[in-house]
Structure 1
Amino acid sequence: MTALIIVLLIVFGIVLLLLEFLVIPGITVAAIGGVLMIVGGIYMSYDHYGSSIGHLTILATVIFGIISLFLALKSKTWNKIMLNTEVDSKVQKLDDENINIGDQGICVSRLAPMGKVKLDQKIVEARSTGSYVDEKTKVIVVGIVDKVVIVKPI
């Protein structure tokens, strides 16, 4: 029973360290817990089975840790759990010169500071002059910068 506890402490400790190195940024409870579990497992092996088994436990822990790290860093391992989606949408840019300064419209969504505005029966992406503009508020076009409509509430 003690041998099972020692093995589980070392395995869970190495798993926590791998999570810390590869998934969780910074030094967190996972790293501290992983180190404590590994040290606890090695201490228990020395305490219950003597120094020769303790030395073998350290050797086995190092070998298991290196093999685990090697398998975790292989690219095929991460390809199995990686999200494989592509973003193929584009930001809607203003078409021609259909929208002019002074045109009036209504907000289709909240401008915080970007949102949708209905101008001349067309829904376009617009940016407010800095303040939040609620939905269904009447707005006026005050500028067009890099094909982005700039509006302010009326």
Structure 2
Amino acid sequence: MTLLILSTLLLIGLVLMLVEVLFVPGTTFVGIFGLVISIAGLVFAFANFETSTAWTITAIAVIANLAAIVYGFRSGVWNRFSLKTSLKGGAFDGRLEGLYLGMPGKAISDLKPIGKAMFGENIYEVKSKGSFISVGSEIEIIKIENNTILVK
């Protein structure tokens, strides 16, 4: 029975430390809890076995913990949980290419002061220079800045 309690404590401590390293890094609560349970298992070993046997159990537990952590990193288990892609877009991703200052267009919605306008074959969100522009009005680009098209 003593050996069962000891092995259970050490195994639970090992599992919790592996969970900390592989699945919830940075929280430290799970890892600290696993360390406390492992230490409780070692204290239990020193209380119930001879000193030489307890030191042997301690050495085996330390080696098993280190081996499990090294194996966890080398096996690539954590690769299944890591992000492999990244966002490619940005604030200036070429949506406004082909537009130029003075380019004529047509308002396809009311600009109050923001609305939709057509330049060439494409529809863009535009902002008027502060005044209301009704749908169907001819407009002209007066400024392009930070993906914002200012029209009059």
TM range (shorter): 0.5 to 0.7
Partner Cα separation in structure 1 for residue 56 and residue 8 of structure 2? 16
Match of 1:7 in 2: 7
Q: Please state how far the C-alpha of 1:19 moved relative to its aligned partner.
A: 3.5
Aligned length: 129
Instruction: Give the AA of the match of 1:149.
Output: T
Q: Please state how far the C-alpha of 1:36 moved relative to its aligned partner.
A: 0.8
Q: Alignment partner of 1:119: what SS? A: strand
TM-score, normalization: structure 1?
0.59
Match of 2:69 in 1: 69
Match of 2:95 in 1: 93
Q: Alignment partner of 2:76: what SS? A: helix
Distance 1:20-1:82 versus aligned 2 partners, 3 A rule: closer
Q: Which has the larger radius of gyration?
A: 2
Instruction: Give the AA of the match of 2:50.
Output: G
Q: Which runs of 5+ in 1 are unaligned?
A: 107-116, 128-140
Structure 1 segment 96-107 matched on structure 2, within 5 A? 96-97=98-99
Query: Contact 1:6 / 1:41 at 8 angstroms: preserved in 2?
Result: yes
Distance 1:77-1:29 versus aligned 2 partners, 3 A rule: closer
Instruction: Give the AA of the match of 1:119.
Output: A
Query: Contact 1:101 / 1:143 at 8 angstroms: preserved in 2?
Result: no
Match of 2:130 in 1: none
Q: Please state how far the C-alpha of 1:45 moved relative to its aligned partner.
A: 1.4
Match of 2:60 in 1: 60
Query: Contact 2:116 / 2:126 at 8 angstroms: preserved in 1?
Result: no
Q: CA RMSD in A?
A: 4.1
Q: Please state how far the C-alpha of 1:4 moved relative to its aligned partner.
A: 2.3
Query: Contact 1:9 / 1:41 at 8 angstroms: preserved in 2?
Result: yes
Partner Cα separation in structure 1 for residue 101 and residue 75 of structure 2? 50
Match of 1:32 in 2: 32
| TM-superposition CA deviations, 1:84-123 (whole Å, max 9, x none) | 75458644622311786997576xxxxxxxxxx7432845
